[in-house]
Structure 1
Amino acid sequence: MYLEENGKIGYHQAVVPQLFLVVNGEGVVRGNSEEEIKVNSGDAVFWNKGEWHETKTETGLTAIVIECDALDISSLIAL
């Protein structure tokens, strides 16, 4: 997906588990809370099914979004 300058994916619920991989640019994301978390190229964000979330960017952002009922990221998480 590509968000242009001042782009926004409004606050909505994830229909299935979702992995959001930022490949270029920067922006902010937020989940159920009002706290915004800055994301940059190389960052990944995971939202569980039913979790509310939003993405915004002032400068533009390109991301790969993977959505699947059976999405299992446990092997990707560093302990």
Structure 2
Amino acid sequence: MEIYHFGRDTGKSISAFQSDFILSRIIQTEEQAHIGCVYLGEQGNIGYHQAASSQLLLILNGEGYVRGEEAEFTAVVAGQAVFWEQGEWHETRTDSGLTAVMIESDSLNPAAYMTLTDKGAD
């Protein structure tokens, strides 16, 4: 399991076409990708299971706890992304709820765009 940071402070200011916004690049895929939004309510849980393909979970709102194959959970908050390799056992829990975007693909390389945090790196 690896935890990355994609917050506003990692982004680049975009002004082309009279725009005014910050863009934090996350990932580029060369193969098919499945992208979905996960809504976990209070005491929500994505049970312990093996990743069918590499998986990137981008926490947008709320907070929770994640783990890979180790028993210890790591706290995550909005602006962090959790990456699990294909076949890796993992679980996500929350006490208060969280919303996340889930990207699944056989070819994900989050390190190409995002900064790895000190916490959660194996």
Question: Normalising by the residue count of structure 2, what TM-score does the alignment of the two structures yield?
Answer: 0.62
Counterpart Cα distance in 2 of 1:78 and 1:27: 20
SS in 1 for 2:115: coil
Structure 1: segments with no counterpart, 5+ residues = none
| Number of aligned residues | 79
Task: Show the 5 A alignment for 1:33-48.
Answer: 33-48=70-85
Quick one: higher RCO (CA 8 Å, sep 6+), 1 or 2? 1
Runs of 4+ in 1 over 4 A off after TM superposition: none
Structure 1 residue 76 displacement after superposition: 2.3
Larger radius of gyration: 2
1:1-79 correspondence to structure 2 within 5 Å: 1-78=38-115
Deviation at 1:70, TM superposition (A): 1.6
Uncovered stretches (5+) of structure 2, i.e. residues with no partner: 1-37, 117-122
Percent sequence identity over aligned pairs: 54
Q: Deviations over 1:30-76 (max 9, x none)?
A: 10001100000111100000000000000000000000012222312
Counterpart Cα distance in 2 of 1:22 and 1:78: 15
Equivalent position amino acid for 1:61 in 2: L
Root mean square deviation, CA, Å: 1.2
Matched letter for residue 31 of structure 1: G
Q: Deviations over 1:4-55 (max 9, x none)?
A: 0000000000000000000000000010001100000111100000000000
Q: What SS is found at the alignment partner of 2:72?
A: coil
The one-letter amino acid of 2:97's match is G
* Cα distance in 2 for residues equivalent to 1:21 and 1:77: 11
Q: Distance in 1 between matches of 2:71 and 2:87?
A: 17
Which residue identity lines up with residue 62 of structure 1 in the other structure?
A: T
Q: Which residue of 1 aligns with 2:120?
A: none
